[in-house]
Amino acid sequence: MSGPTDLARLTGTIDILNEITISPEIKDVDVGNGESRPTVTKALSIAATQFGGAMPYTSIEEALTKTVSGTVFSVPSKLALSPDPLKYIDMYLNDEGAPVPLGDYPNGFANRLSINQSSLALELAPSRMLDTRYGWGVADERGYPILGVKNIGVATGIFDELPGLFFLSGEWRYVQTDVNGIVLLGHRWDGTTVVFGVASDANVVPYQVNDSGLSDIWLLANGMNYQLTGAGNNWDPVASDGVVRYMSRVGTNVQQVQQDQPVYGEVAPYVRNWLHILSSSQSLGLGTHSEILTTQPPVANRVFTIAVGLRQSDALQAVELAPESVLPLKPLVSNLQEAPHAQLCASLARHRDLPADAGVIGSCHGIGATTIQNLSKGTVSYNNLIATVTQCKADATARGYGYEVPFVDWIQGEANTNGSQGAYLTALLLLQSDLTTDIGAISGQPNIPLVLCQMSSWTTKNVTTSYVPHEQLQAALENPTKFICAGPKYWLDYHTDGVHLTGKGSVQLGAMHRAPAAAAIARKTWLPTYCTKAVRTGVVVTLSFHTPVGALVRDTANVTDPGNLGLRWIDSTSSATVLSAQVNGNNTVTLTLSGVPSGANPRVGIADIGISGALGGPTTGPRSCLRDSNTELDVFGNPFYNWACHQIISVE
């Protein structure tokens, strides 16, 4: 060390460093030679100002006072100019003291919601495989199959189906020509097949339908659909000169079959028995407020209705049906509105749910806004149903046909919304007994079951709950040979009044009733999606479900979530609530409660409650987001599922 001078210089340097590093003041420090350096406190202040967006402020006003113009700051989204529960942070630019929005960050819930919706969309997407029926095939130069061997071992031509599966250009969907370009075998986009040397009629187009898993031959003739086969495996149809030819396999026998072209109004020659499918209902079963969609006979030679039409006018419903209102029978179409019964009858034929020798008579007998008591024995509606059965049975006998009423389709309940506990179930049991007695006396049958669905729009009556949907399910669970419950109606397409259905909704309802109706025809039982057991351990409740098809699925896209998937805890003191609902992979749902419940009579409600005055439907009414994995499509190609029933189940 050189002496006091150097010591003084060192001491001065140390003082300057201390002032820079530990001084709490926001200032610059003279370090000599005309230079200055900011204190650490000032440097941190500058950094905080420049990176104001890195740490959210408690309000926009605070941020504007603590940042300078040209810098970025952030605030929690709930304190932003436009609060949004799906956001976490909103970023702004301080522009001369005014906040300019720059962007936002989503919160974890929004990310999970996006992932769930994306996963659900993938689950709902149809298979990308064009046709899974064939294990092996011969393809054309584009890779589209020409001939194929089905998975069941049957070889068949594929080019004779209706167009629309493959997307080629030009006049022909598939064509074979000779060296001169003359068409030897061709299939046009309009469905017509051309065979060289064989005359064809552009108004007569044969085609295959494979809804049942086996091929049936159908014919579109002058705008009318006819079903030519309902048994065996059939393919390669050709129509010419009033004759339809096709190949058919029954068991191990393969042969070429020839049929005369059907005549409108005549019954198919294979029909030897009538299945009379009756509907009794209030307005939803009549299609009130819906637009007519079934304008073309679904099956002109197999599915018929009575002379006055599938449903009667309001005036005609109130009087006894005259004999000329019942006979002669005619091909079924919708009239007045789109009653669900139209597509119920049609889908039973398309899916081969009918015996091969059976035809269908469909007829609706109901009155809008009417209680079950005013549709029961002794009323005009009931008498008209029995009178129709009497005349149709007599007509069947005259034709030499068998006759049977496999079930009565029952769509009712809204008019009984405010009834007392047990009243609706008692009326249902009496109605089924009376129908069995009175129809059985005509047809000779020992039992006539009711295929019914739960009403789902009771909140439009300004109530939150109703006993009716629960007793509709109870009837089916306790009396499976007398009642089959098709499920609830909350998922359907509702009219703007929140009570009735659109034409699309009526078609959906008819499709929903097909599977339970098919079970009734086959004299089998069928159960909807419903909870079979609820068991509590501590704060966890495990619900077990029955599903008609496949696994239980959480679906918040087709039915919006009213909270916890439409599930709630019930006991005598409301001692707990549901915090979360988790759908598992084994047809169970796990509920986590807010605490260990202490009230008596513990239960779980499933879509059992709604908001008084709310419209019925998949986004507003009492509902649940639980369904099965049904792969069926309705007549428009839309998927439909079996949704969880309205239910209250006791907890073990």
pLDDT digits (tens, 9 = 90+) for 559-586: 999 999 999 999 999 999 999 999 998 9
Per the domain annotation, does 302 fall within a domain?
A: yes
Per the domain annotation, does 268 fall within a domain?
A: no
> How much is the average pLDDT of 237-260?
89
8-state DSSP, 498 = S
Among 488, 503, 521, the domain-final residue is: 521
More confident residue, 2 or 642: 642
Among 521, 546, 580, the domain-final residue is: 521
Q: How far is CA 149 from CA 136, 155, 167, 213, in A?
A: 5, 4, 22, 14
**pLDDT of amino acid 159:** 47
Asked if residue 535 and residue 431 are part of one domain, the reply reads no
Asked if residue 375 and residue 228 are part of one domain, the reply reads no
| Contact yes or no for 183/192 (Cβ under 8 A) | no
> How much is the average pLDDT of 132-139?
60
Ranking 28-42, 328-342, 524-538 by mean pLDDT, the lowest is 28-42
> How much is the average pLDDT of 313-335?
89
Asked if residue 28 and residue 9 are part of one domain, the reply reads yes
Which run of H or of E encompasses 520?
A: helix 503-521
Question: Residues for the chain: how many in total?
Answer: 652
Per the domain annotation, does 214 fall within a domain?
A: yes
More confident residue, 294 or 313: 294
Asked if residue 475 and residue 551 are part of one domain, the reply reads no
More confident residue, 207 or 190: 207
| Contact yes or no for 623/490 (Cβ under 8 A) | yes
| Residue 22: pLDDT band with limits 50, 70, 90 | confident
More confident residue, 319 or 362: 362
**pLDDT of amino acid 287:** 94
**358-366 and 273-281 beta bridge pairing:** parallel
Per the domain annotation, does 21 fall within a domain?
A: yes
- Full residue range of the structural domain in which residue 94 is found: 4-106
The amino acid occupying position 603 is R
Asked if residue 500 and residue 642 are part of one domain, the reply reads no
Asked if residue 308 and residue 227 are part of one domain, the reply reads no
Which CATH number goes with the domain that contains 319?
3.40.50.1110
Number of domains in the chain: 4
Mean pLDDT of the chain: 86
Asked if residue 298 and residue 185 are part of one domain, the reply reads no
List residues bridging with 361 in a β-sheet. 276, 304
Per the domain annotation, does 124 fall within a domain?
A: no
CA separation for the pair 22, 24 (Å, rounded): 6
The amino acid occupying position 548 is P
Among 521, 547, 570, the domain-final residue is: 521
Ranking 108-112, 294-298, 315-319, 561-565 by mean pLDDT, the lowest is 108-112
The amino acid occupying position 467 is Y
Per the domain annotation, does 562 fall within a domain?
A: yes
Asked if residue 330 and residue 281 are part of one domain, the reply reads yes
Per the domain annotation, does 265 fall within a domain?
A: no
Q: Is the pLDDT of residue 141 over 90?
A: no
Asked if residue 285 and residue 222 are part of one domain, the reply reads no
8-state DSSP, 215 = -
Most confident of 78-82, 308-312, 530-534: 530-534
Tokens read off for 21? 């590093």
Asked if residue 330 and residue 394 are part of one domain, the reply reads yes
Give the closest residue to 60 by CA, choosing from 79, 82, 83: 79
Q: Is the pLDDT of residue 130 over 50?
A: no
Per the domain annotation, does 127 fall within a domain?
A: no
- SS3 assignment, position 515: helix
Listed in sequence order, the residues at least 6 apart from 126 whose beta carbon sits closer than 8 Å to its beta carbon are none
Q: Is the pLDDT of residue 21 over 60?
A: yes
CA separation for the pair 233, 214 (Å, rounded): 6
Residue carrying the six token digits 């709630």: 568
Asked if residue 382 and residue 412 are part of one domain, the reply reads yes
> How much is the average pLDDT of 280-298?
93
Asked if residue 247 and residue 285 are part of one domain, the reply reads no
CA separation for the pair 483, 354 (Å, rounded): 20
**pLDDT of amino acid 181:** 64
> How much is the average pLDDT of 294-303?
94
| Contact yes or no for 630/642 (Cβ under 8 A) | yes
